[in-house]
Amino acid sequence: MKITALVGFLMLFAVGTGFAQSGRGDNPSSVDPGGNQDEYRIFRGGDAKAKKNKRSKNRLTFTEQKIQEYEDRQEANAKRAQEQAKAMEKPRYADPTYFGHKSKPKKRAPGKKKFCKQCGISH
């Protein structure tokens, strides 16, 4: 029983070492001195070139991105300030008779004037 187990182990060991020494075929050997580079290129889909840098040229670094966001915010704030300044030139804001109302208050007779809750004036 021990002898058959020993023989079986030696056979498995011999077969295993034969598989361990065989590679992908990239390395030259006495049978194929050039290696299997052509088959390997076909398998890979072309020549094995060095990979390009993953970061593209138009991508910004973290600090450049933050600077760009800051400049965008400043432009948006300047635009908003210009719009507000233009809105303040409208009669609602420029004409003192509006008293902060959306529309001009009605002119009533002195006995019929009402107290305004918005501006605190009777008109």
Q: What is the pLDDT along the chain (123 residues), one digit of tens a residue?
A: 788 887 887 787 777 776 666 655 555 655 555 555 555 555 555 555 555 555 566 777 999 999 999 999 999 999 999 999 998 888 777 777 777 777 888 888 988 998 888 888 888
Backbone angles phi, psi at 84, to 5 degrees: -65, -40
